[in-house]
Amino acid sequence: MEFSFSQEQRLFRDQVLRFAQKEIAPRSQEHDLKGAFDRESFNRMGEFGILGLHFPEELGGGEGDVVTATMVGEALGEAGVDMGLMLSAGAHSFLCADTIFVHGTDAQRKKYIPRLAAGQWIGCMGLTEPGAGSDAANLSTRATRKNGNYVLNGTKMFITNGPVADVAVIYARTERDARHGGISAFIVEKGTPGFSAENELVKMGVRTSTTSALALEDCQIPEENLLGEEGNGFSMALQTVEWDRSALLSPSLGGMTYVLNRCIRYARERRQFGRAICEFPAIKHKLAEIKIFIEAARSLLYRIAWCKDQGRGVNHLEAAVAKLFFGDWSLGPMNAALTLHGGYGYCHEYEIERYFRDNRLTPIGGGASEIQKMIISKLL
């Protein structure tokens, strides 16, 4: 396994870091306070080539591999870009656009990928339902053939980008009695009769990422909007795990580095009892805990990214370990960062409380920690 990066990768990472520090990060605090999606920054990321980095050049992409995409995500987080915007970008690029790219027809790829890669359109994925979160095979949304079309009925819940999406990959049941094998995926565009986003949810963290339910009421789409083959939807959803455990988590990893740098600077400047608090062993230990987590998490995420680039796919055991480690074990270091800042850490001005709130999603989103433990124990 090779963990060294090429000079080209390093240069591109530096370019992304400088771009994000100048163009994106300064807007984060303002939009978090408003709880508003930053469409301007999203567009800038599309123009820079970030949203379509791993797609072919002929489809508007940058021909990047998974390791490079993971590096870019980490650089954006390290620059101080808020995790809400990064969650929106990840759901757009990896959960929606990549699923269309991998499983779509040539016509579907040509129609959707260039617009999604450029950020002209925003994508989302509709898998979770009010009664089917961790139990993804228990979908109740139905897709029924009728006169050369599919008619979709059901409700999706907690959908990132739901209120702003132009196109969605929707998972629905095409066979009533089959569980995993009875699920199919469909492309549904904004404006399709019977398809709508419900009221935006107000969340504890990642507030700049818009989230809502999606309603499908006799939503009729043409047969050519079927993605892949009938019955293969569940396996498509599982393949997004490869992204969810690497590039989609990498901004949070970069964000932890940003937090560590803020902690080091504050510990050197803050004086108590006649000396800088960085001289106290308790503070040194908190900084060490954060650094240890960063290095361990980085190894797990890049291992998965490297395996995907080698065509090996991702072992579900490895993916579950990475997700569980980052989700549960990041809570301690992030709490240490907040308490290191004392009362200032609890105030919005110092940004740490925003990272604390945003990070709380990691044990929940993309597969709850309890599910990861179940997967790990089952595969041992």
Q: Residue type for 277, please?
A: I
Any idea what the CATH number is for the domain that residue 362 is in? 1.20.140.10
Contact 337, 286 (CB under 8 A): yes
Domain boundary among the residues 122, 138, 155 is at 122
Q: Does residue 2 form part of some domain?
A: no
Give CA–CA dist 362/356, Å, rounded.
11
The tokens for 276 are 């800088």
Residue 350 has a pLDDT of 87
- Strand positions, DSSP E, the chain: 123-126, 142-146, 149-160, 167-173, 183-189, 195-197, 211-222, 226-227, 271-272, 275-276
The tokens for 370 are 């309890």
Any idea what the CATH number is for the domain that residue 59 is in? 1.10.540.10
The residue segments making up the domain with residue 142 are: 124-231
Domain boundary among the residues 99, 122, 145 is at 122
Residue 2 has a pLDDT of 64
Give the CA count within 13 Å in the CB-facing half-sphere of 277: 18
- 3-class DSSP string for 190-250: CCCCCEEECCCCCCCCCCCCCEEEEEEEEEEEEHHHEECCCCCHHHHHHHCHHHHCCCCCH
Residue 3 has a pLDDT of 67
Give CA–CA dist 165/124, Å, rounded.
6
| CB neighbours of residue 367 within 10 Å | 21
In the numeric block, the tokens 């066979």 are attached to 175
pTM for this entry? 0.94
In the numeric block, the tokens 């939009």 are attached to 31
Length of the chain: 380
Q: Does residue 77 form part of some domain?
A: yes
118 and 148 inside one domain: no
Of 116, 127, 111, 205, nearest to 162 (Cα)?
127
* CA Rg value for the chain: 21
User: In the 8-state DSSP scheme, what is residue 166?
Assistant: S
Q: Does residue 284 form part of some domain?
A: yes
Any idea what the CATH number is for the domain that residue 139 is in? 2.40.110.10
133 and 113 inside one domain: no
pLDDT tens track, the chain, 380 positions: 666 799 999 999 999 999 999 999 999 999 999 999 999 999 999 999 999 999 999 999 999 998 999 999 999 999 999 999 999 999 999 999 999 999 999 999 999 999 999 999 999 999 999 988 777 778 999 999 999 899 999 999 999 999 999 999 999 999 877 777 799 999 999 999 999 999 999 999 999 999 999 999 999 999 999 999 999 999 898 888 667 766 789 999 999 999 999 999 999 999 999 999 999 999 999 999 999 999 999 999 998 888 888 876 667 788 889 889 998 999 999 999 999 999 999 999 889 999 999 999 999 988 888 988 998 999 88
User: In the 8-state DSSP scheme, what is residue 2?
Assistant: -
User: Per residue in 335-365, is it b (16+ CB within 10 Å) or e — as a string?
Assistant: ebbbebbeeebeeeebbbbbbbbbbbbbbeb
